[in-house]
Every structure is written in structure tokens, then in C-alpha cells.
Amino acid sequence: MARAKKTRLSPQAAEYRHQEKTPARPDVGTQPQFKKRAPPKTWRYDSSLSPALEWDGQNAAREQGEALIAELEARVRELRTTLAQQISPSFQPSPARGEGKKGKTGEAHEKKTPSPLMGEGGGGGEEPRRLLDEAEEALRRLKALSKPFLNWAGKAERLSFDVPTLPLFIHERLSTRAILETLKGHKQDKQLGLFDLFADPQRPIHEQVLRAYEYQDQWVNRMILGDSMVVMNSLLHYESLGGQVQMVYMDPPYGVKFGSNFQPFVRKRDVSHNDDDDMTREPEMVQAYRDTWELGLHSYLTYLRDRLLLSRELLAPSGSIFVQISDENLHHVRELLDEVFGATNACPILIFQKTTGAGSPSGRTDLPPVTTDFILWYAKDIERVRYKQVFAPKVRGEAGATQYDLIEIDGKRRPSTAAEKANPPYGGRFFAHDNLTSQTGGPTTQFEVEFEGKRFYPRKGGWKTNHEGMERLRAANRLFVVGESLRYVRYLDDFPCSVVTNKWDDTVISGFGDPKVYVVQTTSKVVERCLLMTTQPGDIVVDPTCGSGTTAYVAEQWGRRWITVDTSRVPLALARQRLLTATFLWYELKDESGGPAGGFVYKHRQNEKGEEVGGIVPHIMLSTIANNEPPPEEVLVDRPEEAKGITRVSGPFVVEATIPTAMDFEEAAPPSRSSPVKGEGAKIRGEGAGEEGTNFLDRMLEVLRKSPVLRLEGNRTVTIENVRRPAKTLSLSAEAMVANGAEKPVAFVFGPENGAIAERLVYEAAKEATAKNYAHLYVVGFAIQPTARQLVDSCEAAIGISATYVQATPDLMMGDLLKNMRSSQIFSVCGLPEVALRKANRPAHVVPPQPGSTAGKEAWYEIELLGLDVFDPVTMEVDHRKGDDVPAWLLDTDYNGLSFHVCQAFFPRTAAWDSLKRALKGEYEDAVWEHLAGTTSVPFEAGEHGQVAVKVIDDRGNELMVVKSVKEAK
């Protein structure tokens, strides 16, 4: 099978590939050319649920309610008149609907003249039907008014809300198999198919630009940086994903305290919530926090309801949403779900054990510890919900198997001893006795049975079977006497599984090989159960609260397609590492060429002891023995056939973002004093946010005035004064004088509030600053694109003015959140990762090209990460970190200037790759893996673009990237 060959390139490392198609998203770097911009989408709530419509004498509710009643009455009156005229002039409708049918006159007329309402007469029935529909709608809304609802500050005003409609750009392409291939010395090359390993269709730029979202590419799983609401809106608008998602798993922050919601460091799981040092400083996160928690619980409810509404749009008719929550807000969130999904679509609340008793007091140590969390589960449509029962192994003595106290051993039956219970003896069969009689019985089930010298007769009703069936039970040795009753013998192994109910006690310990990396990580088993109950292989699963990627990890394990979203870089860095380095079992596919959507293979299998170990298990019951029928079979969805000897790794996945990383400069000119348009500065954010943008520019200027010290490389500082907006500027944001510096002023350009500075911004600002004879250009922002950074560094030679990139610390966004923020030294200069690109020898394990081969002259390179300047916003100091003191760094050996292909991924001084290393023992030398836990790459050959890119992830999840031409190699 062709596909089998492709998905199992190496016999030991294989992956699942999904064959479904998906609209092609453009690569990052093509944003300025992206033409399919769309206005913000307005989402509306059902106004009949508006909290303004309360039934009390004080507010508008009564008035509105009365208007609705009047409307209803008018429609009904109209309807009656119309009906009366259409049916017969002599027809006298009775006052209430339906009553006329009972009257003799009505009956006679209805027979002669079919009612248009009934649709029998054809034609003429449209108007009454419409009127009736309107009447019923008014009635429905009235009824909704009479129901109690949850109200909170701001709800009444939010009958609708706008969400920016932003495209998603692919920033990174990741493939564990591609990494494994580059470790073998394979070049990222079209012939060798490495692009195929990344599932990169290699669309030319003009296609990406002109026809973004028009092509259909092969599906790849997706990790998206951005606010879940913006991302879901994008999926709905640009990809028409509405109605296609089978499951949404949402694990929002439980509480409303700022500090308790985030993990600010990649490598520090224990967060002290009161510690200023432990606060997150990611601009996106701070903004999300401000939007979400400003009014405490009130904004929390607004935040959740909006996201639930969009989740509902995404769900397929048979889909489900699971919302994980603690007891603190359980009741509120349930109200929200009732409101958005409808109370009738509620499925059982799932209760799962999160800790054992110790260590999780409920806040007061004199009250019981809280050991459980909850999952609120709603179907999109309860009538159509996809649900598959899951089973857990039946363990004697535990829930569902507490009655199996008797044992049958050496042909004898007796109570089991404590020792036997603790250590079941070989050949022993535990059993329980069960009722043989039924309340309802007929003559065929009422008869005398003689057994072991005693006579038995069913007291009430009859036996559960007839005479013949009873003889079969006797022959199968299923009869047993307890006192004066004849009972049925039910063996523990008649069905070795128990039904999983809504209470999950076995969820405390996370699976082996899946350790906790994130402070609020959900145990995989919890997500796994939800997924197995409600989805099939190949289905789409969305998690708008990715965290460390548990849903993605579980979905990958079970061959589901996944999309996961987080607004924070720290969890995404963790999730990326978790997926990239994970190993999974290979479950046999029914149709390998069709991918997981064809389903897994399940078989009936027993081990040497005769125990059922396959995924299809017979369910022996009294009725099957009595009726001499083969027992029905249950499919244990979590037990597909495993192929031994294959290590499965994650399939290719991409990292995307909504964050407008680059600005279309023509549309988003930086603000200027001369600008006639109020709030023009807003465009700098790329989202047309009106006032806010001006506020951002004002804030930046204000802070620049208050903290006029810029920290430059080499511990130098520059103090500026007289900060002001330049007159008549096209692209500059500010000008200032340098204290004790040149006579001429220096110019400033500010990058966007929510994205990275683009090359174009630097170019335009530098041109203007040169023309206006400024002494220097400072390019200030929270992040900068690699090409923009390169232009800053070569600005003097290229454009004629020296320029410096100045990193604004995200503390700027924190304001009052960071109480002891020192307002000085807000701006620093952030160094780039320091890397060395060297020529290297061909690795020993790589086979040299055949003499006369067309492979060309080999040239091997290696990259070493020497270090990184890290700015600490708390101490306000720049700290130089050695290369091995970063959580992760990534290498693209043939950077195309657009998306980053992760050809090698390094997690220095960690055991991140150990599970794969163990699984692939023998395939690679240990030295190869040592590279991936260090600072020097595995030697590689350059690709067609002649440049490599190195991306370093710092402890706060920030990504810093450098690009080097291979010509620079020493």
C-alpha cells in the first residue's frame, strides 16, 4: 500500500496522516499582501434571553412583555378571521383554537373544505401559516421571559459583540519524522520528500497571496496562538468550519484572580501567586486578562459566554462540548451552558478525582478537602449526539464489582478468603449470585425446579426463562442455592468490564510517560474519556484553552484531527515540545491508505489464562445461555489492535497565529500629529481599534517621557529629553533630544501593540528619518520580525541612517497590575541570540554519495547556539544566558523567509527526547541524541535558499530568531 509506505518511512517511526482536505492558509510573511480582509463579525445573542426583560414592575420588561402579548393577540385574531374567510363564510370559529373541531358544524365543514392550515387544500394556506408561525414565535419568547436566568453586570448591554475577522498565518511547520530524517543527514529537499513530511504543499508565494483560503490542502493538525474567540471566528469565517467539529474541550481558568491563571515560565511549574516575579508579562496575556477579568466574575461570565456561543457554531449536529470547571464556579457555568446550548441538551455532569485527599484543602483546613473537579457536558443536539459507552476493567471489590465475593475452585463453590481476594488463586473464578425470578411471568415460566435434592418454585411472577432455558442453565452449571432460593451464578469474567459512569475515580495519576509540565495540566485520562465517548477516529477536536496541549496529545494518540488555541506563549511552547517528542502506540487502521478516518481494527482475543484481552469482548448473560445464543459482543473503544515494533510519533502539525505580526504599512500608517483622522494611531495595531490605538501611542509617549533612559547593548545607557510628536510626519512616532548628545534630534518609530515590527515599517521610518536629517532612528516594539531586525542592523549602509532596535518591556502593558513596577528603564535593547554557523564534516553515519552521483558537491554545516541576552523586567537588568540555559531552540536548515520548518529541535539539558531515543534504540547513535539536548546542531547540508534560521524560545516563551546565510559560515 502506497500510503503505508509513506506513513512508515522508517520501520520503527511511523505517524498517522489524515487524508481529509482543509482550506490552505497563507504562510507568515505574506500578510501585507493578504487581500481577503473582512470587517469584524457581529455575533448576536437571542434577545428573548436578554436580562433586560425581567418581569418586575421597575424595568422595561413589563412594557416589552405586554407588547409581545398584544402582538400575539393581534396575530391570533387575524389568523382566526383569515381562516374563517378562507374555509367558509358560514364558518363560525369557536373562541379557542382546536375547539371548533369538536363541534358538529366544524367537523362537517372540515370534511367538505379541507383546512388550509392542515395543508390539505394546497395554495391559500401560506398566510395563515405565516401568521401562526409569528404567533408561536411570540409565544416562545414570552415563555422564555418567564424563566429565571442568570444576570450579571454588562450582560444586558451585550446583546451583540464584534469580533475582528483575522486570517491565520502559518508560522511554523513541525514534523518529528522530518527531524528524525535530518538526524540521518537528509537534506530538506523536494526529491527526498522532506517537505512532504512537513505536509507542506510548497505553494508559490503568488498563490498564497492571491488565492489564500481557496485551495484545499491535506489536513495537518494545528496549534494556534491567539485569543480563542478571534481564532474561532476566523475558523468560521475563512474556513467555513461551522458544524464540522465533533468535540470542543474547554478548560478555562477556573478562577478570576490574575496571578492564578497563568504559568509565566516554561521551566517553572510551581507558581507562587503573590510573587511579583511569577507574574506573566506576555502582552497578549495581559490584554486577555484585562478584557476577561476586569470586572471579576462579571467579566468572566461574559468571556465564557461569548466563547461558548462560538464553540456552538463550530459543533457538528452530533457534537459535544465539555467544559472543565471547579466547584467554585460550577453553578454559574452551568447556567451559561443552559443559556447557550439549551437546558435540554445537557448531558450528565462528569465528576473526576483530581487529587487524593491530602494536599488540597478547600481553603479552610477545618472543612473537608476538595478532591474532585467537574466537566459540564452539553450536546449540540441531544437527539443526535454521538455517544459510545466506554468501559473500565472490572476489578473485583471495586465499583460495579463489589458483590463478587464467592469463589469457584476445583469444582467447589464457597466464600472466598481474604487471602484469595488479595491474591486471586490460579484457576479460581470469582462469582456473585443473582436473581433468577422476574416480576412478570406467564405460564411458560411458572414451573417447579428440582436442584440438589430441593424443590423450588418462583414466588412471584415467574422464572427469568422457560423450562428449556432452565435446563440449559443447569447444564452450564449456572444454578446455585442460597437459603431457600434458587439463584443464578454470575462469574466476574462473564463480562470483564464495567460501565464507566459519570463519576471517575481513576483519574488522579497521569499516564506513564506523560508527566505534568504545566501548572494547570489536565490528566490525559479525563480528556481521553470524553474523546472516546463522543468522537471517532478522523473527527475534528478543538480545544480553545490549549495549555500544555493535553487535548492535542490525546487526540493525536487516538487518531483524531485537532486544533488547539492559546493566547499565551508559555503553554504553547510546552505543548509544542510535548507533541514533538511524544511517542504513541500504533493502532492498526482498517484502511491505511484512507488514514484514521477509516477506523481502527478491533479483535476478539484471549490470553493464555483465557482472559479477554482484545477490543471485542463477549458479554455473557443469563438470557444468552438460556436461549442458547452466542453472547453479544461489546467493542472496547480504548482497546484497538496494537502493532508491535512500531513507534508512532506525532503527525505533522503547524503553529499558526492570528496576531497581526506584520502591518500593512499603507493601510496602517503610524500615527502623526498632522493626521487629520482621529484615532489614526489605532491602525498601528492592525485592528482598527479607534480610540485604543491613540491611547497606545499616547501611553508609549508618556512612558518614554517618564522613563527616558534607554538601555543599550554593552550596558550603555542613553537618556533622552524633550520627547514630542514630530510635526508633519508620515511614518515616525516621536522625536527627542539625547542628553549630552548631538545637536540634532533622534527619531522614534513604535511597532504595533499586539505584534512584531515588520521590515516595511522600519524601511519607511528610516527613509523619512534620513530625509529629515535626524541623527539616529530608534525602532521601539515588543517584538520584531527577523527581516526587520536585519534591516535595523544594516540601516546605515542600506538607507543612510544608523538605527537601533529597542525592546519595550511588556511591563508597559501591565500598568496597575504590577504594583511595584518601576517606571524607569521600561525600554531596553534586546540582544539577538548569538549563534555560530560553521562548516562541518560529513557525519560518520551518513553514506557518502556514489562516485559520479549527481548529488553535487557536498557542503556540511553546523550551528552552535552561543548564548542569549535576556532582559529581566523585574530587575530591569540584561542577563546573558549561555546557550544551554534556554528551554528550547529550533533550527530551519533551509529557511525560505516565510514559515519556519523545524528540521532540528533542541531542548538543552533535558530528557525531552528520551522516550523517542529509547523507542528507537539501535537506529541512531547516542551522539545524535546528545546534539538534541545541547547547543550544537547535527551537521546538515544547506538547502536551495542558502540560509538557515535559528529560533530561540526563552523562559517566558518569547521567540527570538536569527537568519544566517550559509555564505557566512566560517
Ligand X SMILES: C[S@@+](CC[C@H](N)C(=O)[O-])C[C@H]1O[C@@H](n2cnc3c(N)ncnc32)[C@H](O)[C@@H]1O
For residue 803, count CB atoms less than 10 angstroms from its CB and return exposed for 0-12, middle for 13-18, buried for 19 or more.
buried
Nearer Cβ to ligand X, position 50 or 524? 524
Closest distance of CB 613 from ligand X, Å: 30
Task: Tell me which of 227, 811, 894, 941 binds ligand X, using CB under 6 A.
Answer: 227
> Nearest 5°: CA angle at 498, between 494 and 504?
165
521 binds ligand X (CB under 6 A): yes
Q: Quick one: which segment of 378-386, 541-549, 642-650, 686-694 binds ligand X (CB under 6 A)?
A: 541-549
550 binds ligand X (CB under 6 A): yes
Q: Per-residue x/- marks for ligand X, 229-268, CB under 6 A?
A: ----------------------xxx--------x------
Nearer Cβ to ligand X, position 269 or 472? 269
Nearer Cβ to ligand X, position 325 or 697? 325
Which residues are CB-contacts of 289 (< 8 A; sequence separation ≥ 6)?
A: 258, 261, 817
CB distance 799 to 768 below 8 Å: no
Closest distance of CB 857 from ligand X, Å: 48
283 binds ligand X (CB under 6 A): no
Q: Quick one: which segment of 331-339, 479-487, 564-572, 738-746 binds ligand X (CB under 6 A)?
A: 564-572
Closest distance of CB 255 from ligand X, Å: 10
Cα 931 to Cα 56, 386, 411: the distances in Å are 71, 46, 63
Residue number of the CB atom closest to ligand X? 547
Nearer Cβ to ligand X, position 547 or 671? 547
Closest distance of CB 526 from ligand X, Å: 9
Q: Which of residues 88-107 bind ligand X (CB under 6 A)?
A: none
CB distance 284 to 568 below 8 Å: yes
Q: Quick one: which segment of 200-208, 519-527, 637-645, 920-928 binds ligand X (CB under 6 A)?
A: 519-527
Q: How many CB atoms lie within 10 A of CB 503?
A: 13
Q: In whole angstroms, what is the distance from residue 330 CA to residue 336 CA?
A: 10
375 binds ligand X (CB under 6 A): no
Q: In whole angstroms, what is the distance from residue 390 CA to residue 635 CA?
A: 9
Q: How many CB atoms lie within 10 A of CB 297?
A: 15
Q: Quick one: which segment of 547-555, 610-618, 675-683, 919-927 binds ligand X (CB under 6 A)?
A: 547-555
CB distance 670 to 733 below 8 Å: yes
Identity of residue 825: Q
Closest distance of CB 380 from ligand X, Å: 21
520 binds ligand X (CB under 6 A): yes
Q: Quick one: which segment of 209-217, 270-278, 545-553, 751-759 binds ligand X (CB under 6 A)?
A: 545-553
Nearer Cβ to ligand X, position 517 or 806? 517
- Would you give the end-to-end CA distance of the chain in angstroms? 46
φ/ψ of residue 66, rounded to 5: -65, -40
Task: Tell me which of 83, 241, 288, 392 binds ligand X, using CB under 6 A.
Answer: 288
567 binds ligand X (CB under 6 A): yes
Q: In whole angstroms, what is the distance from residue 921 CA to residue 910 CA?
A: 18
Closest distance of CB 545 from ligand X, Å: 3
507 binds ligand X (CB under 6 A): no
Nearer Cβ to ligand X, position 310 or 617? 310
329 binds ligand X (CB under 6 A): no
27 binds ligand X (CB under 6 A): no
Nearer Cβ to ligand X, position 551 or 804? 551
Task: Tell me which of 22, 176, 228, 935 binds ligand X, using CB under 6 A.
Answer: 228
566 binds ligand X (CB under 6 A): yes
CB distance 926 to 945 below 8 Å: no
Nearer Cβ to ligand X, position 8 or 569? 569
Task: Tell me which of 320, 416, 466, 545 binds ligand X, using CB under 6 A.
Answer: 545
Instruction: Check residue 606 and report its DSSP letter.
Output: B
Q: Quick one: which segment of 54-62, 506-514, 544-552, 906-914 binds ligand X (CB under 6 A)?
A: 544-552
Task: Tell me which of 522, 658, 694, 807 binds ligand X, using CB under 6 A.
Answer: 522
581 binds ligand X (CB under 6 A): no
518 binds ligand X (CB under 6 A): yes
373 binds ligand X (CB under 6 A): no
For residue 552, count CB atoms less than 10 angstroms from its CB and return exposed for 0-12, middle for 13-18, buried for 19 or more.
buried
Closest distance of CB 325 from ligand X, Å: 10
Task: Tell me which of 26, 283, 571, 755 binds ligand X, using CB under 6 A.
Answer: 571
Helix, coil or strand: residue 954: coil
Identity of residue 304: L
Nearer Cβ to ligand X, position 463 or 518? 518
Identity of residue 843: P
CB distance 718 to 710 below 8 Å: yes
Nearest to 290 by CA among 480, 567, 599: 567
Calculated CA dihedral for residues 229, 232, 238, 242, nearest 10 degrees: -140
Nearer Cβ to ligand X, position 508 or 775? 508
Nearest to 902 by CA among 913, 912, 890, 894: 890
Task: Tell me which of 462, 547, 660, 943 binds ligand X, using CB under 6 A.
Answer: 547
Nearer Cβ to ligand X, position 262 or 827? 262
Closest distance of CB 906 from ligand X, Å: 23
Calculated CA dihedral for residues 643, 649, 651, 652, nearest 10 degrees: -160
Q: How many residues does the chain have?
A: 970
| Number of separate helices (H) and strands (E) present in the chain | 24, 46
Nearest to 438 by CA among 626, 697, 242: 626
**Cα 765 to the center of its chain, rounded Å:** 39
Helix, coil or strand: residue 474: helix
Closest distance of CB 162 from ligand X, Å: 16
Closest distance of CB 40 from ligand X, Å: 17
568 binds ligand X (CB under 6 A): yes
Nearest to 538 by CA among 938, 903, 221, 877: 221
Q: In whole angstroms, what is the distance from residue 544 CA to residue 541 CA?
A: 10
Q: In whole angstroms, what is the distance from residue 21 CA to residue 679 CA?
A: 42
Task: Tell me which of 315, 565, 738, 835 binds ligand X, using CB under 6 A.
Answer: 565
Nearest to 604 by CA among 577, 571, 639: 639
CB distance 858 to 878 below 8 Å: no
Q: In whole angstroms, what is the distance from residue 208 CA to residue 205 CA?
A: 5
Task: Tell me which of 548, 828, 896, 947 binds ligand X, using CB under 6 A.
Answer: 548
For residue 236, count CB atoms less than 10 angstroms from its CB and return exposed for 0-12, middle for 13-18, buried for 19 or more.
buried
Closest distance of CB 249 from ligand X, Å: 8
Closest distance of CB 553 from ligand X, Å: 8
Nearer Cβ to ligand X, position 282 or 862? 282
Nearer Cβ to ligand X, position 228 or 731? 228
Total interface residues for ligand X by CB under 6 A: 21
The grid coordinates listed for 939 are 551537521
φ/ψ of residue 949, rounded to 5: -125, 140
320 binds ligand X (CB under 6 A): no
The grid coordinates listed for 651 are 503527525
Q: In whole angstroms, what is the distance from residue 510 CA to residue 520 CA?
A: 13
Q: Per-residue x/- marks for ligand X, 466-505, CB under 6 A?
A: ----------------------------------------
The grid coordinates listed for 599 are 477506523
> Rule CB under 6 A: which residues touch ligand X?
227-228, 251-253, 262, 288, 518, 520-522, 544-545, 547-548, 550, 565-568, 571
